[in-house]
Each structure stands twice: as structure tokens, then as C-alpha cells.
Structure 1
Amino acid sequence: MKTLTLSIDSLLEGYDAVSVLYPHVPSLSHWRAWEYAAYQNFSIVGRVLDLGCGDGRYFNLIWPDAKNVVGVDMEPVVAELGRNSGVYRDVYVTAAHNVPEPDASFDHVFANCSLEHMDHLDTVLAEIYRCLKPNGTLVGSVVTNRFVEWSLLSNLVAMAGHDKIAHSLQKDFLEYHHLANPLTIDEWTKSFERAGLAVEALVPILPRINSGIFLLMDSLWHLKRKSGGELGDIVYPFLSANANFPAAFRKVFEGLLDMETNWQDTCGAVFVIRKPGG
């Protein structure tokens, strides 16, 4: 397995690309800047299956030359957005372990931050194996166990002695993200291998400093308001009213990158996994 380390320049280029989509959602532009930079080391051509496709905008940003793409999403409203995007030949509203396509019908499967949310991981990976052509690849991002362990807001509240509130914050955070599989890198690798897939490349994303700030921003954004909704409902209009915010947050992002000392211990990872044969 080849492990790649991202450069600061590539990450800043990633931020410049994704902040066009999410200019005033700092946690999302932060996380996806890392993913984008990692994906630029790889390519996908031919027929592609996008598991957890969403509205298609991020897929199109990463893989603009991929034109023969089928999407899958469980949420009908989201799937309809993907269907209307022009990115996909078709979009199925179905679970990821029940793709209505023939065996060996895709050159690549793309799964961006979706596998960690799936309750039947082994079944999903078996379905990916079935759908891939021999020598085809699964390319995607996942969260690791550090995503839970480094949850900064709940950890800080616990340090202040408010254990009950900290527990409630962590519970809400995990329920929001539905983290069924916050696995270690070794556990992810073993899961892929059980499905008959071979890990070819790994890109660690979001080391400790970046993880802590991302997780703090994300936790605060999705913090439940007593009156209903979440804190992000208040923060977003405030940030979107400031045209300077995306460029200013880029400087914050660059400062966080300068602070990192261990780029291998991370709360996320991008994998390239191959189906043998062909």
C-alpha cells in the first residue's frame, strides 16, 4: 500500500476550488479541501458509480471529465437534485447494498464520506465488489476513530467538569453524523480485504490540529437550538453577509496547516482500493 502526504500548496488549491461551492460554511470547505487535494492524485475514467451521490456538485468539481456516471442516494429529495444536475446518466433511490445494476458493470465506484454512515458495511463492500469490473477501483473518503476521539467541543466541556452536558453533546454529534463505522485505518483495511478488495493507496487527511478545529466548527454549527433548528442557521447568514469571509478563512486554514507536526495520524482518509483480476 502506497501512502501519500499532501503538500500545503495542494491543500490551499483544494480550498480555492471547494470554497466556490461552500464559501460560507467553513467546516465543509475545510474538510473537503483535504479530500479534493487527495483526489487530485488519482483519476477515474469509464463508467462510474457514485454511492451517496447527493446533488452532484462536488462530484462534478472533482471529476469534471467523468461523463458516464450513475448515482445512488437513499434520500428521494436529494436524489432528485442529483437527477436534475446533468451530472448523472441515472440516479437510483436505493440503499448502497442493493444497486440495481448487473455484475461487473462499473470501472470505478466513488464513495465520498459515505461508507462510515452505512449500517451494513460488509454487505455494502460485497455489493461494490460485485458491481466493479475486474481491476476496477473503489475511490473514496472515510472517517477514522479519531473523528470521535478528537471531538473537541465535548472534550472541552468534560474538562470543565460538565460530564452530563459533554455526554449529551457527544451523543447529539454522533447521532447527527450517524457514524456507524468510525474505524481505525487498520480496521478499514481489513474490511476492504474481507470483501476481496486490495488497498492500493492511502492519503491521510486532517491531522490533529486541523481535526480539532474542524470538529469544533462542525459541532458548533450543528448544535441544537432550544427554539428549534441549529446554531448554523444563525451563523450562516452572518458569514454570508461578509464578502471577505472566504479569503479571510483561507488565511486561517493556512495557519492551521503550518501548525501540524504529525501528518499521518488523522481523523479521515482517502483510499484507492482495487478489485483484483483483469
Structure 2
Amino acid sequence: MTQSNDLFSHRPTFSQNFANKKSSGYLDPSIWSIIVGPAQNSNNEAQYYTDGISNLRIENGALRLIATHEAQAGGYQYSSARIETKDKKSFLYGRIDVTAKLPKGVGTWPAIWLLPANDKYADLSSPDDLMRYKNGGEIDIVEAVGFEPNVVYGVAHTLSDTTDHPDGTGSYNAVKVPGNDSEFKTYSLLWTPDNMTFLVDGQSFFTYSKKTGADYKTWPFDQPFYMIINLAIGGTWGGMDISHFPNGIDDQSLPASLDIQSIYYYPYIGSSTKK
């Protein structure tokens, strides 16, 4: 059941509409940072992130994060893009709508996700994204892997709620979304002080709720989070299909892109009509 619209403002306080931007336009540097270098985690991803127009550009009414098969610094054979709002824009409760078209091809690993802005609970000493969310939490609004075509995941990563996630860090659900790599779909997070609901085109497919007496180990989601959008290649999950490709990556499917049409954030206001 989708949460009542009374819980969220009908007017966005943050928006990025790339459909209205001219091709060759630039990301707003007051909102977005473009990450350059290898992935800072233990996923063993194969890409090197760049800020070049071959990997990140606005065209045809979308922001495009493009993965390519080309030699990079440090011996990397793939390049791609990652952007984030860290230290610039954060979100605490509310509705986030991201309209996106996901990439096609074995080895692609796109994600639109959130990490703690101020690390209220997380391990400040760790540069590894995966270790930081062990305490501070992670919210995957949408995540997908190319070897599972037209399937998307919504995930609430936590330290102790390890009931059903394969890596033992939270809860998730997956849903079939036909055409998600050929058409734009809207992926939404409805986030309140008590639960998070994940949707595709307005249809709920996963809800994660705060348990009675919960602490940060199962509900670290009471603090601001910043947004990350990236397209990884290969790695521990994205590159799992080694039965068909030695490194889990179909080089013939590249270049492949994660296209973002728009992002809207509607603040949480509670319900003035709740009975």
C-alpha cells in the first residue's frame, strides 16, 4: 500500500530536470561533485571514473552516465561516471522521484542511492563505502545488474537487520520491470520517520519499517543522506556471470549508459488529515 500523499509536500524543494537542459550542458557544481578515480570500496569493480564527456554528458534530454571499454590510468580497461551531492545537498525524510533509463548488457551495475551526510553512526575512519554503511545505513532507491535483465532492487542496508540480504546487511525486494533499459521509468523512495517505501512508476514493491524500540543497528535512517548516481562495471555482483564471460562483462554491449531525465524531492510534512 502506497503511503498517503498527505505525508509529503506537493511542491518540490529540489529538482533537476535534464529534459529542459541543452545538449552539452553542465552539471551544477553547487549541487554535484564528479568523482574521478577507481571505486573506493571492496566491490572489485572494473571501471575507472572520469569527468570526461565520453563518460558524462547531457544530451537528448537526459544526463547520461556512460560506461566504455577503453584503457584508463592504473591499468583499468573500463571507464564510467559517478556523481554525488556529498557536502552540497542532503535529504531527510520526504519523497524522492528519479526518472531514469537503465543500461543494457551483462556486467553493467547501475545504482541510484543514498549514504549518510554526516556519518552520525558510521565509521568515520573508513574510506570504504561498504564499511561506512555498516553502521550509518545505505538506501538503494534503485539498483540493478545486467545479467538479470529488467529486474530492479530496492534495498535498506543496516548493521543488524540481516534477514534476507545476500551480503548480510539489510533487507530488500526485487521486481520485474519490463522495458527498464529501453524506456524511462520513475523510481521513488517515500521516506518517513517510521518507514521507507520503494516504488516503480507509482507501484510499491518494497517497504522497510522501523521496529519498536529500534536503535541505529536496524534504523539508522533518522539523519540526512546525500545522493549518489553511478554506473559500475563488473565487480563482485555486477560481474557474477562468469559462465558466459570470463570477467563477467560483455564487452560487446559497451558503451552502455544510465540516463537520468529528472530528479524531484518533496519534503515530508506529516499528515494534517490523519484520523
* TM-score where L is the length of structure 2: 0.28
For normalisation by structure 1, the TM-score amounts to 0.28
More strand by share: 2
